[in-house]
Amino acid sequence: MPGQIDVAAGPVPELIPRPRKLTAANGRPTFPCSAFGGLEIPVALAPWAEHVQGVLGTTEVADGFPPRISFEPAALPAENYRLAIRADSVRVEFADPRGALHAVRTLLDLWDGYQRTALPVLDIEDGPDLPTRGVFIESFTGTDRMDLPDWRDLIDRLAQLKLNTIGLSIYGCWDIRHGQRPAEYMFTPLTGFPELASSTRITTWDAEKGAEVELEYVPVIFEKDLFSEICAYAAERGVELIPHLGGPGHSTLIPRVVRVLSAVDSDGTPTGYGYCVSRPEARNALARLVRNLVDQHLRPNGLRRLHVAGDEYYPIRNVDPRDRQRLVSPYCACEGCRDLSPGHLLIEYLMLVGTVLADDGIEMVHWQDTLVREGVLDEYLDRVAERGLPEPVIVWWKYNDPVPEPRAERTETWVAPTTGLFPHLFGQDFTENISTAIRKGALAGATGVLAYWIPDPADHQNVACLADLAWNSSGSAGAAGFRPRWARYVSPCSSAEAEQAFSLAGTITASYPSMMYVVDQVLPYFADSGVPGSRYPDDQLRAFSVTQPPLAEALRQIAATLREAITLMPSGREVRFWPNPVQQWRDETHRTAASLELFLDVLALTYHHGDDREETAEVTRKAHALLRHVSRSKPAYLAPAALREHWLFVKEIGPSVRRLREAPGVGPRGSWHPWIV
C-alpha cells in the first residue's frame, strides 16, 4: 500500500514527508555511521555535485567504514528515487536531479533520526503525488527585512521537506494599517522605473533600548538587489522560483507613481489604484514595465513563469490617506474602459501582460477568485487559446472553510491553502485547511499546491503537513494521519505526550473563527482599519467587559487551555535547518497565552478606582516581559512587526485605563455561570 512501512519489529525514525514504500531488513538491523564516505557522481548530476557534497559533508576516508554513496540514473517517473542502505554502501537510483536530491534528503533524515550515529539497513522506493509542491511568500512587513542568509535558510528548510516551488511576491500593496500610509512593497528594482523604490515606516519597540523606536527602510531584497542570488540558490537546490506581480488589485504604488498607466475616474483624473487597459499610452506603459521585468529579472535568471495575480480586484476603502472612508475603485472609467465589466477589464489586463510574456516563452499563473467571482474564467481561457498564448495555471485559494471546489478540466490547476497568516498575529494550526485543500484538489485533478505564507519558523508544523500531504497524500491519511506522526517526529521518546499537547492546543489554534474573530482582536492590526471614531484598545477592552456574551471568560478559558498544553509538552529533538520545533511551539503558545492574560489584567485594572499601584506595577512587569519574550523568540526579520502589535497595546495601557475608568459601561462584573467557568 502507498505509504505503508513494511517492518518486522522496532520503529524506523519517523520521516516527513512519508515515503511511499519503505522495506527494512528482518530484525531492523542498524550499523554505526558517524560520517559518509566518498561520492560517485555521474555526469547527469555534475551541476549538483558541490551541493550534494556540502550537504552530506562527505570526505574520502582510508579505512572504508563510512558507507560510500553511489548514484545511478534509472527509468523512473519525475522526482522519483530508490534508496538502498547497506552497512558498506548507499545506492541511489534517480529519475532526474531532483530525485537524487530527494534521496539524499531522505538519507539525512534517517541519519538525523539516529542522532547521526547510525543508519538502518533498508530500501525505499519513493516519489511525489503532486508535481508542484510549494509555498507562496508574501511581500509584506517581515519579508521586507529578510536578508540573503534568511532567504537561503528558508530555501534549505523547504527543500529538505522535498518542496520544489517557491512563489515570491515581488510587488504588492495593501490598505492602511498602523499609520497613514498604504503598505506598498517593491522587491525588485526596475532600471526603467527608478521612482518605484518604496519604503516602510513602522513604530515598534526595541529590546536593547527598552523603548519605542521609529524604523523607516527600503526592503532589504530591493536595496541589495538580492533577487538573482535568491534565484540561483533555489535552482542549485532543485527549487523553482516563480515571481509574483500584484495587480490589477493590490496595486497602489505603480499606478500612483507611473500615472500614465493608472485607471482614471469619469473626469479623466488618475485614481492611483488599478490600471487603464484601453488608452494606447497606458497600455504601452504597462507593457514597458512588464518588458523591463522580463529583461532585468526573469530571462537572466532562467525563470519560465510569472504569477500575474488577478486576485481581489474590486473597490475597497482604507487606501486613501486623505479620506480612509472613501471607496476607491480599481476600475478605469475612461471612454475605452467604462463600458467594460470588471471581469472584462481583468481579462484585458491579463491578455496584455500575457502577450508581452509570451514573446519570451514565459507562462502565467493566476489566482482564481476574481475570474470565478466575475464569471469570466472560461471566456478568459477561450481568449488565451484564440491568441495562441500559453495556457495559464489557475490557483484556487482559501484559508478557511468552505474550501472551494477547483476546476481542472481546462487548464493546469493548483490549490492554495495557507501554512500561516501574518506572523505578527497569533500562530494558528492550519493542518485541516491544508488537508482539505489538497484532498479537493486531488479529486478534481489538480497537479500542484502553493500555500500562502509569510515565513515564520513557528509555522513548522503547518509547512511539514503541507510537504507530507503533497508528497504522499494517499499514504498520509490527511491531517488526522499527519498529527501523530508529527508528534513522533519532533518528540520520538515521548510522542504520546506531545500528541496530547498538540491536540489540546489545537482545540484553540485550529479554530479559524476563534483565532481570527476573538483572539486576534486583542491586537491592534484589525482595529486600525479607518473606522471613524474607533479607538484602540478602549473599544476592545469595552467589548470584552460585557457580561453577555461572556467574551472575557472565553479569553480566560483559551489562555488556560494553552497553558495546560504547554505543561503537557515534553522535550523535543533538533531538526535539520529548522529551529527546535518543540521550543518554537512553546514560544508561540506562550506568546498567545501571555498576551491574553495581559489583556485580561488590563481589563481588571479598569474595574478598580482605588490605590492599585501594586497591581499596576505587576501589569507593567508582565507587559515588558512579554515584549522581551517576543524579541527573543521571533527571527530578527519578523521581530519588529510582531513587537509593534504588542507595543501599541502596552504603550496605551495607562492612558486607556484612565479613560475607561471615567467612561460609563465598564465596571466590575460578577462571575458568569461559575459551574462552567
DSSP state of 121: -
Q: How far is CA 137 from CA 72, 166, 308, in A?
A: 35, 7, 14
In order, the DSSP letters of 393-455 are EEEEE-SSSSPP----SSS-EEEE-EEES-TTS-----HHHHHHHHHHHHHHT--EEEEEE--
Which of 217, 178, 181 lies closest to 197, judged by CA? 217
303 pLDDT exceeds 70? Answer: yes
Amino acid at 279: R
What H or E segment, with its residue span, contains residue 124? strand 122-126
Distance of CA 400 to the CA centre of its chain: 15
Cis peptide before 17 (omega within 30 of 0): yes
The 10 Å Cβ neighbour count of residue 165 is 23
Which of 591, 559, 566, 569 lies closest to 677, judged by CA? 559
3 pLDDT exceeds 50? Answer: no
Average pLDDT value over all residues in the chain: 93
Domain with CATH 3.30.379.10 in the chain: 4-126
Work out the pLDDT band at 49, boundaries 50, 70, 90: confident
The 10 Å Cβ neighbour count of residue 437 is 28
Q: Which grid coordinates are listed for 433?
A: 485547511
In this structure, what is the dihedral angle of CA atoms 202, 205, 209, 213, given to the nearest 10 degrees? 20
Q: According to the model, what pLDDT value does residue 634 have?
A: 98
Work out the pLDDT band at 6, boundaries 50, 70, 90: very low
Beta strand 211-217 pairing with 363-367: unpaired
Q: According to the model, what pLDDT value does residue 577 have?
A: 96
Instruction: Determine whether 350 is exposed, middle or buried from the number of CB atoms within 10 Å of its CB (0-12, 13-18, 19+).
Output: buried
Which of 527, 531, 662, 533 lies closest to 599, judged by CA? 527
670 pLDDT exceeds 70? Answer: no
Instruction: Determine whether 209 is exposed, middle or buried from the number of CB atoms within 10 Å of its CB (0-12, 13-18, 19+).
Output: exposed
Q: According to the model, what pLDDT value does residue 537 have?
A: 95
Q: How far is CA 339 from CA 331, 334, 336, in A?
A: 11, 9, 7
167 pLDDT exceeds 90? Answer: yes
Which of 242, 251, 169, 248 lies closest to 393, judged by CA? 242
Each residue's pLDDT tens digit, 104-152: 999 999 999 999 999 999 999 999 999 999 999 999 999 999 999 999 9
Cis peptide before 402 (omega within 30 of 0): yes
664 pLDDT exceeds 90? Answer: no
Each residue's pLDDT tens digit, 394-453: 999 999 999 999 999 999 999 999 999 999 999 999 999 999 999 999 999 999 999 999
Q: Which grid coordinates are listed for 475?
A: 499514504
Which of 515, 346, 352, 499 lies closest to 418, judged by CA? 515
Q: How far is CA 239 from CA 101, 142, 324, 467, in A?
A: 11, 22, 41, 14
How far is the C-alpha of 415 from the C-alpha of 394, rounded, in Å? 8
Work out the pLDDT band at 99, boundaries 50, 70, 90: very high
How far is the C-alpha of 647 from the C-alpha of 655, rounded, in Å? 14
Q: Which grid coordinates are listed for 438?
A: 489538497
In CATH, 139-259+279-315+342-480 is 2.130.10.10: no
Share of the chain above pLDDT 70, in %: 95
**More confident position, 379 or 178:** 379
How far is the C-alpha of 550 from the C-alpha of 547, rounded, in Å? 5
CATH architecture, domain defined by 4-126:
2-Layer Sandwich (3.30)
Give the start-end residues of each E strand in 456-562. none
How far is the C-alpha of 193 from the C-alpha of 285, rounded, in Å? 10
pLDDT average, residue stretch 319-335: 92
Q: According to the model, what pLDDT value does residue 10 have?
A: 54
Q: Side-chain half-sphere of 293: how many Cα atoms within 13 Å?
A: 28
Work out the pLDDT band at 594, boundaries 50, 70, 90: very high
Positive or negative: CA dihedral 357, 359, 363, 366: positive
Scanning the structure block, which residue is given the C-alpha cell 490527511?
Answer: 478
Residue 361 in 3-state DSSP? Answer: coil
How far is the C-alpha of 22 from the C-alpha of 570, rounded, in Å? 28
Each residue's pLDDT tens digit, 262-296: 999 999 999 999 999 999 999 999 999 999 999 99
How far is the C-alpha of 185 from the C-alpha of 168, rounded, in Å? 12
How far is the C-alpha of 541 from the C-alpha of 518, rounded, in Å? 12
Instruction: Determine whether 121 is exposed, middle or buried from the number of CB atoms within 10 Å of its CB (0-12, 13-18, 19+).
Output: middle
Q: How far is CA 42 from CA 45, 47, 69, 74, 107, in A?
A: 6, 10, 11, 12, 19
Q: How many residues does the chain have?
A: 677
Domain with CATH 3.20.20.80 in the chain: 139-259+279-315+342-480
Q: According to the model, what pLDDT value does residue 343 have?
A: 98
Give the start-end residues of each E strand in 255-383. 262-264, 270-275, 305-308, 363-367
Share of the chain above pLDDT 90, in %: 82
Instruction: Determine whether 32 is exposed, middle or buried from the number of CB atoms within 10 Å of its CB (0-12, 13-18, 19+).
Output: exposed
